[in-house]
Amino acid sequence: MTEDTPLLFPNSERGSLGPALTLPQSKDGGPARLVAIFGSLGPHRTRRVHYVFDVGKPAYSEIVLPADGALRSIARELPGAAWHERELRDQYGIAVVGHPDLRPLLFHDNWPDGVYPMTDRVDDVPWSKREYHFLQVQGDGIAEVAVGPVHAGIIEPGHFRFSVVGDTILHLELRHFYTHKGTEKLFEGKSVDDGAMLAESVSGDNCFAHAVCYSQAAENACGIEVPPRASAVRLIGLEFERLVCHISDIGGLCTDVGFSVAAAYATRLKESLLQASVQCCGTRYWRGVAVPGGLRFDFDSAKVAELAQAVARASRDFSKIARMILGTPSIQNRFETAGVLSQEAARDLAVVGPIARASGIDLDARRDHPYGAYGKHPIEVPVTHYGDVMARARVRVAEATVSARLIQEAARDLPDGSAFTPVTSQGDVQGFSSVESPRGELCYWLEAGGGRVTRCHIKSPSFQNWPAMSVAVAGNIIADFPLINKSFNLSYSGCDR
């Protein structure tokens, strides 16, 4: 797209432009991958915009620009920036000039124009009624199918608007943020310690990745070293979460093609792991474990070893059943060539996680930006190039094996000593952290003063990956949408926050 391409949704964004952003280059040549764009308030409540790029191992690069005037959109050069810039506008009211689509993202028809939660008072925001226009695809025989926000199943809410010809999807428009809970604003004023509990409630099935990522951002901000024992237990928890998530995903894929015996098998393996986790640390999803400074309580080494044994058993069982499932011809028939996301589209949209790796992009925060105990362990990163449902399934199966191995290694060499270092900070501090969550690179940016959070931005992998869904489903039949959606397995709440 160039400057002259007509806007899909014309807007009248104007304003005096601040300094232009020079897009950074990656160390190995080519444009750097966009990680996050978010706003914050500087001295005297002046608005700033932060751009985070991955310029190559091991550091991220952060560029901060003043944004009291208008901002020039970079969404034409980097389509992956489009949602970030819309969020920036919804939260801070920053004019984004030249953006192809600035319809409201976070707030729906009920939110009044001109109220920006990060800069305004939002105690009692009136209900309003504004109009929202979906993209209209016109032509002979084109029908619209509206799905959601309430879906048929035990699933989170979101709206999908399909434009179809017969069974074939021409265009999918996503309208999400039904579960938007104003989480980033809620962080403000919380003690740095209490923020971990809010982070745990951002995305329920990878709450530990959120808690660890938040804690690391706080530790980086305060210059705290976490004791080796806490880092090792965190690694076990993060890999445990990934293993559970991936087993659950393979089961979910089987459900969506009606292979219920295999689906039940996967849910049984998942439940056996969750119960083993209760025996080890009293929680099924590792809530209330991570806190800035380390762990909220120490673990019993013998129980960690028992958990590792349960993981080894479940992982062996999973490898066998997964091989049988993916070797089943009718499964191959459904999974192969469905929902292809090309490497080019994945790069344009700055996609992360297993979705990126299934489309031939070799990235993994554990290896590229090591944190905690990850530097001590070699990490194999499975990458395939087909970009279809089968590729995403295979990547997850391979990753589950790596996770199980990492848990064995970390449990075997569990260091002794304390599991907590007190976090103290009085001055104004900032910290950034990334974690490879089961869905991909998760980032927290934290600013605190006097021991209280003043700003916390969450860049969830789902926020980055959702737009790629529209690309992957185009040309597929609508009946394959649930399967393709499951193969992405994106979090709504993590995206909407």
Does 92 bind another protein (CB under 8 A)? Our answer is: no
Does 479 bind another protein (CB under 8 A)? Our answer is: no
Q: How many other C-beta atoms lie within 10 A of the C-beta of residue 12?
A: 7
Does 240 bind another protein (CB under 8 A)? Our answer is: no
Q: Which is nearer to another protein, 265 or 371 (CB)?
A: 265
- Shortest Å, Cβ 54 to another protein: 27
β-pair type (96-97, 440-449): unpaired
- Shortest Å, Cβ 178 to another protein: 5
For another protein, the binding residue among 26, 61, 119, 183 (CB under 8 A) is 183
Q: Are 216 and 444 in contact (CB under 8 A)?
A: yes
Beta carbons within 8 Å of 174's beta carbon, 6+ residues apart: 158, 159, 160, 161, 466, 467, 469, 470
The dihedral sign for the CA sequence 201, 206, 212, 218: negative
Does 305 bind another protein (CB under 8 A)? Our answer is: no
Binding string, residues 355-394; x marks residues near another protein by CB under 8 A? ----------------------------------------
- Shortest Å, Cβ 197 to another protein: 5
Cα atoms found within 13 Å of the Cα of residue 407, Cβ hemisphere only: 29
Q: Which is nearer to another protein, 85 or 205 (CB)?
A: 205
Q: Which is nearer to another protein, 182 or 415 (CB)?
A: 182
β-pair type (96-97, 71-72): parallel
Burial 391-422 (b: 16+ CB within 10 A, else e): bbbbbbbbbbbbbbbbbbbbbeebeeeebbbe
Distances in Å between the alpha carbon of 473 and those of 384, 391, 488? 19, 15, 11
Does 286 bind another protein (CB under 8 A)? Our answer is: no
For another protein, the binding residue among 25, 46, 110, 309 (CB under 8 A) is 110
Does 142 bind another protein (CB under 8 A)? Our answer is: no
Does 327 bind another protein (CB under 8 A)? Our answer is: yes
Q: Are 409 and 392 in contact (CB under 8 A)?
A: no
Distances in Å between the alpha carbon of 421 and those of 182, 298, 424? 30, 12, 9
Binding string, residues 112-131; x marks residues near another protein by CB under 8 A? -----x----xx-x------
Residues that bind another protein (CB under 8 A): 106-108, 110-111, 117, 122-123, 125, 149-150, 152-157, 177-183, 185-186, 190, 194, 197-198, 201-205, 207, 259, 261-262, 264-265, 267-268, 270-272, 274-275, 277-278, 282-285, 287-288, 296-297, 320-321, 324-325, 327-330, 491-494
